[in-house]
Amino acid sequence: MQFLSWLLALSLAFAPRAFAQSDPGSRYGQVPPAAAPSLPAAPLPELGDASSADLTPQQERRLGEAVMREIRRDPQYLDDPEIAEYLNGLGGRLVAATPGARQDFEFFGIRDSSINAFALPGGFIGVHTGLITASDNESEIASVLGHEVAHVTQRHIARQIGIQKQMQIPMMIAMAAALLLGRSRPDLAAGASTAVQAGAVQSQLAFSRDFEREADRLGFQALNGSGFDVRAMAEFFEKMQRYSRLMDSGVVPTYLRSHPVTTERISDAQARTQGMPFRPHVDTLEYHLVRARLRAEAMDPVDAVKTFTAAVNDRRFANEPGARYGLAVSYMRAREYKRAEAEIALLRAGKTDSPMIDTLAARARLGQGDAEGALALLRSALARHPHRRSVLYATLDVLQGLGRFDSVLATVAEPMRLYPREARLYEARARAYAGLGKRLLQHEAQAEVYQLQGNLPGAIEQLQFAQGAGDGNFYELSAVDARLKELRAEHAREMKEGRKPF
């Protein structure tokens, strides 16, 4: 399903954002932006030769990274390890069941109430929170993600650009940047983009019907191969069609504009289930918790408390722990921490165990000014769930808040060995060094953040700052020099290689 060609990701700039902005409480769980050096102006990718054939996989990745750098700066980007962990777990199941999925995928949330998901070049897949909150089961979300994964593995974006290559790439990138920057940099966007121009680019880049059909077909296979309920795809299409009849504007315009649910798509999806055994999928606890949390956050806190209280009292829920967790989240947002803790205690009494409950419990402690209590809860959770990075990041945040910078550094050491490509770990390290006043080491760590995000010029600049910091010893300086040499060579290579990378 969806949905969008990659450029429609940029329709972010036009998406309804009432929820995202009217409710500061909805940023619950979000880690404040690192006290890292301010971002350098995002370098526009270099275009290379737009007249040549399809994009190479490397160019696709660079293009995707360039767009991601813009998206990460957008307030609607859900910089939330818990949601990201859930989406990547779910998406990873589908990727594993998709033939030919060789590259890295990164699934991320966008706080937007419309029902949507989109693929960017290079394996970045954005999921609107509205898709999760509107779902009735996990297989519905999986049916959408499977479709998006197929757009990536089939290289539809590169092929699409190949099909209409004349002059398009420079225009698309200019538009991409302008649309995204339009949020925060009206000076740059003024005149560069209008909704009309953007609409023109969007319609030119919408995937062809053949690509959509192929993504539906392969998405269905992935759904089946990863053990989800294959009927969910047709059911979700039908639900979309009902929505589209009900609303002529508001909730689903993006979806309707780009991906009309045709009778053909529905009947194709139904036909594929013919003769397949009925195999219901049991939704994960995490799905119920994530959906409840996002639903609670989409409402005003008082309404959320009322809604979830009624659901729990009248036993109107699909999943009791989900409803109770939603109530606990609602109490948190209403700053009724004791009541949130009472719900958490009931969840635990019912033997519901999830790292999401642990981190919520820690936040309830933090809300009452008890950072030490929060830390103790998180430490114990981390011992039970050593690989849950959402718990790790919550722990690092509390340590940072307590000023225990040395503990931050000690805590990230082992995870950095296990997950050397995780930018957030380097970010934590950079913040800790900033707290310790060690400037060379701070910039050195920040350089790795940028390098991992595909921003070599930004990384090189950080290393130059590190050279000039004046507080490093001989060995530290030598390490910075060596790394700078490496990254400069890598950058030069990229600039030189045949068609220039983005």
Q: What is the binding site for Zn ion (CB under 5 A)?
A: 212, 215
Based on CB atoms, which residue is closest to Zn ion, 97 or 394? 97
Q: Any idea which residue has 């509107």 for tokens?
A: 134
Based on CB atoms, which residue is closest to Zn ion, 215 or 378? 215
Nearest distance in Å: CB 75, Zn ion: 26
Based on CB atoms, which residue is closest to Zn ion, 194 or 203? 203
**CA–CA gap between residue 384 and residue 375 (Å, rounded):** 14
Based on CB atoms, which residue is closest to Zn ion, 215 or 484? 215
Nearest to 7 by CA among 137, 202, 260, 168: 202
Angle at 447 between CA 444 and CA 449, to 5 degrees: 120
Nearest distance in Å: CB 144, Zn ion: 9
Based on CB atoms, which residue is closest to Zn ion, 154 or 270? 154
Based on CB atoms, which residue is closest to Zn ion, 215 or 460? 215
Nearest distance in Å: CB 124, Zn ion: 15
Nearest distance in Å: CB 19, Zn ion: 24
Buried b (16+ CB within 10 A) or exposed e, 238-259: ebbbebbeeeeeebbbbbbbbb
Nearest distance in Å: CB 120, Zn ion: 13
Nearest distance in Å: CB 3, Zn ion: 5
Quick check: 288 and 318 in contact, CB under 8 A?
A: yes
Residue 287 sits at φ, ψ, to 5 deg, of: -60, -50
Nearest distance in Å: CB 207, Zn ion: 5
| 457's tokens | 């010029």
Based on CB atoms, which residue is closest to Zn ion, 160 or 390? 160
Nearest distance in Å: CB 112, Zn ion: 17
| 233's tokens | 């795809």
Nearest distance in Å: CB 83, Zn ion: 22
- String of DSSP letters for 231-296: THHHHHHHHHHHHHHH-SSSSSHHHHHH----HHHHHHHHHHHTTPPP---PPPHHHHHHHHHHHH
**CA–CA gap between residue 164 and residue 239 (Å, rounded):** 33
**CA–CA gap between residue 205 and residue 212 (Å, rounded):** 12
Residue 160 sits at φ, ψ, to 5 deg, of: -60, -45
Quick check: 343 and 327 in contact, CB under 8 A?
A: yes
Strands 117-119, 77-78: pairing is unpaired
Question: Do you know the residue count of the chain?
Answer: 502
Based on CB atoms, which residue is closest to Zn ion, 143 or 390? 143
| 212's tokens | 């959509």
C-alpha 460 chain-centroid distance: 26
Based on CB atoms, which residue is closest to Zn ion, 95 or 484? 95
